[in-house]
């Protein structure tokens, strides 16, 4: 059988429009899923970039993705881990995407202690971002090892499915995510395509 075609940019485009129009109801968006590799991060990035055309958007990397730092104007910027340890200020951890108006916050510099992402202070940092931005997207990866309350509180979920997820598995995951407290759950048909397969967005100097 042929491999699944990558998610059409239209699906991401439609969802971005819907989330921007939802305004306060989509203030906090947790992107998670079962897809392997960098699929979840790439989907979160594609979605956040499109939303950033119409709103003030920040993408917070809780999956410690090397992909995201490569997209930044400052790949060596400190992140949440350095903020938690008092080694960086709030303004220092916010960096810009090199290809859009999107702003980025990394999990931490390479080799950081992942236990820092369990800190109750992380919720305070996210709350502070929610006061500044129209939409805060959390790239939660597979969602494991992160405090459930942090991901679900006043949030809606966008699920990036792995190739193994059939209709039954999707329904089970949908029900589980609603049960743990997400206000809304959107199941994508598939992950976003690799970056080089996308049309370039508007460049911002």
pLDDT value, residue 8: 66
H or E segment and range at residue 130: helix 121-132
CA distances to 48, 88, 113 from 27, rounded to whole Å, are 12, 25, 28
Contacts of 125 (CB under 8 A, 6+ apart): 80, 83, 84, 90
Residue 15: exposed, middle, or buried by beta-carbon count in 10 A (0-12, 13-18, 19+)?
buried
| CA atoms within 13 Å, Cβ hemisphere of 67 | 21
**Res 82: pLDDT:** 96
Tell me the per-residue pLDDT of 89-135, one tens digit each, with 9 for 90 and over: 999 999 999 999 999 999 999 999 999 999 888 999 999 999 999 99
- Determine the pLDDT at residue 192: 85
Specify the pTM: 0.90
Q: What's the pLDDT score for residue 92?
A: 96
Beta bridge partners of 157: 30, 185
Length of the chain: 205
- Per residue of the chain (205 residues), give pLDDT as tens: 333 444 567 999 999 999 999 999 999 999 999 988 899 999 999 999 999 999 999 999 999 988 899 999 999 999 999 999 999 999 999 999 999 999 999 999 999 999 999 988 899 999 999 999 999 999 999 998 899 999 999 999 999 999 889 999 999 999 999 999 999 999 999 888 776 444 444 444 3
């Amino acid at each position: 059988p042929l491999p699944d075609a990558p998610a059409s940019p239209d699906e991401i485009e439609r969802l971005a429009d819907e989330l921007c129009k939802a305004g306060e109801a989509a203030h906090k968006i947790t992107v998670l899923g079962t897809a392997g590799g960098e699929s979840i991060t790439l989907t979160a990035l594609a979605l956040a970039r499109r939303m950033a055309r119409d709103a003030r958007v920040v993408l917070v990397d809780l999956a410690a993705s090397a992909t995201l730092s490569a997209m930044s104007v400052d790949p060596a910027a400190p992140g949440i881990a350095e903020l938690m340890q008092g080694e960086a200020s709030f303004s220092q951890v916010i960096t810009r995407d090199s290809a859009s108006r999107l702003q980025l916050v990394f999990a931490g510099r390479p080799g950081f202690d992942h236990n820092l992402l369990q800190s109750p202070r992380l919720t305070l940092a996210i709350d502070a971002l929610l006061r500044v931005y129209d939409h805060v997207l959390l790239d939660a990866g597979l969602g494991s090892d992160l405090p459930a309350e942090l991901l679900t509180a006043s949030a809606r979920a966008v699920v990036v499915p792995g190739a193994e997820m059939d209709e039954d598995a999707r329904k089970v995951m949908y029900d589980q995510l609603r049960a743990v407290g997400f206000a809304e759950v959107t199941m994508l048909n598939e992950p976003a395509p690799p970056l080089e397969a996308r049309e370039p967005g508007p460049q911002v100097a």
